[in-house]
Each structure stands twice: as C-alpha cells, then as structure tokens.
C-alpha cells in the first residue's frame, strides 16, 4: 500500500511541478514543447533505470549520482545563455517557494523506515528536513510577494531547504548498500533506488535544488 500511495504522490508531484514551471516560463511555445519533451524523456529514462535495477548500482561508480548531477549540470550550462538565464530568473518568487510545499510527502520516508525498509539517519534527516521545508513554505508564499521586506526570513528558509537536500544526498550515499562510502548498515537508503521513491533523487531533488538556486539569485537582486 505504501508503494501504491508513494507512486501516486511522486508521479503527481513530478508532473505538477514540471507543467507549472513550464507554464510560467517566459519562453516561446516551441521552446516549451522542446523542454517538455526533454524533461519527459529524462523522467522516462530515470523510471526505466530504476525498474531495471540500474539505479541501485554503486560500483565502480554510483549510477544514482549521475541522475542527480546530470540535470544540475544541464541547468548550469543553460544559464550561460542570457535568454535562458532571464527566463529562469523571471519565474515568480511565490511560485518557486510554493513548489516546495510538496516536500511534505517526505513523510513517506518515515513510514518506509517504520516498515524496516530504510535505516540509519537518512530517512529521519531527509524526511523531517523536507517536511519542515514544505510546511514553512506555505506561509512564505505570501511573504515572497514582498521579498524586499522579508528578505532575511526568505534567505534563511532557502538556505535550510538547500542544506536539507545536500544533507540528504550525503547521508544517502553513506547509507547506500555497496557504496564505497557506506558507513551505516543495510538496508540504509536502498529503498531510494527503487520505484516509487527513486523519483525523489533522480527527478525531484535536482528540480528543487535548481529552484533554490534561482530563489537565491532573485533575492540577491532584490
């Protein structure tokens, strides 16, 4: 039942975030179609890799790491083009903050851990960190409408949200069975390499990290 609910939550959240960001992105219709196709292809590859068991491969290098690094690298490269950079910075701040509300679904980490399918500090750190980030994002949507007046609290929340994601990646690697950096015993973070939770590190985490970077850049300009 948890996997059933988790699939609904992660797939729905992925589709909602991608479609919403594309709708608000100030680019041509043709560009939006190309971006939708590329993002759809990426989600399809991530899904297929998880279903085939590739995401669980930890040696000689963690395949999961490629799925986290590749979209982040693509986003950095995209900012080299002024038009792309302007489009990303043109996304409304309340929208970017609001997209983090979905992180409350990280309660699934705690429930999966309670079933004994995850262990160590990872599910609790990542779970509670995401839940706190998501809950705090709700009132901050309104504060983000006046960023100049609420710059400090927005910066604080944004830093917490980004650090939570970074900590989740670090603890996930240190908890991954077979990883050269594994410190914590099995099952650790193994459940994150299988569907439906694999959607989180391969798709959702990179998108949230990019959004945090955009929020930081927008606040700097405020």
Query: What does the pLDDT profile of the chain (222 residues) look like in tens digits?
Result: 889 999 999 999 999 999 999 999 999 999 999 999 999 999 999 999 999 988 887 777 778 888 889 999 999 998 889 999 999 999 999 999 999 999 999 999 999 999 999 999 999 999 999 999 999 999 999 999 999 999 999 999 999 999 999 999 999 999 988 887 778 888 989 999 999 999 999 999 999 999 999 999 999 988
86, 92 Cβ separation under 8 angstroms? no
Strand, coil or helix: 222: coil
Q: Which of 136, 68, 145, 72 is nearest to 103 (CA)?
A: 136
42, 22, 137, 44: which is closest to 90 by C-alpha? 22
Residues in the chain: 222
Contacts of 205 (CB under 8 A, 6+ apart): 68, 165, 168, 169
73-92 pLDDT tens trace: 999 998 889 999 999 999 99
Contact (CB, 8 A) for 95 and 23: no
Nearest CA to 214 out of 154, 164, 169 is that of: 154
Residue 213: predicted pLDDT: 97
3-state secondary structure (DSSP) of residue 146: coil
Is omega for the bond preceding 113 within 30 degrees of 0, making it cis? no
Q: Which two tokens stand for residue 103?
A: 């992180």
CB 6 within 8 A of CB 50: no
pTM over 0.75: yes
Give the pLDDT of residue 180: 76
Distance (Å, whole) CA 97 – CA 137: 6
pLDDT at 172: 92
């Amino acid at each position: 039942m948890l996997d059933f609910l988790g699939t609904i939550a992660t797939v729905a959240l992925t589709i909602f975030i991608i479609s919403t960001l594309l709708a608000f992105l100030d680019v041509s219709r043709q560009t939006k179609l190309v971006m939708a196709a590329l993002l759809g292809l990426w989600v399809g590859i991530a899904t297929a890799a998880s279903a085939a068991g590739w995401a669980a491969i930890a040696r000689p290098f963690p395949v999961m790491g490629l799925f986290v690094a590749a979209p982040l690298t693509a986003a950095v490269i995209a900012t080299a083009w002024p038009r792309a950079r302007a489009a990303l910075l043109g996304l409304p701040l309340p929208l970017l903050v609001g997209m983090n509300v979905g992180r409350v679904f990280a309660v699934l980490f705690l429930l999966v851990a309670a079933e004994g399918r995850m262990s160590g500090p990872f599910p609790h750190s990542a779970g509670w960190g995401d839940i706190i980030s998501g809950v705090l994002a709700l009132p901050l949507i309104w504060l983000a409408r006046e960023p100049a007046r609420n710059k400090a609290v927005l910066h604080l929340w944004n830093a917490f949200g980004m650090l939570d994601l970074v900590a989740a990646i670090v603890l996930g690697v240190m908890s991954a069975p077979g990883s050269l950096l594994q410190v914590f015993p099995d099952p650790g973070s193994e459940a994150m390499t299988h569907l439906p939770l694999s959607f989180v590190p391969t798709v959702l985490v990179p998108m949230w990290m990019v959004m945090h970077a955009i929020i930081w850049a927008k606040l700097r300009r405020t």
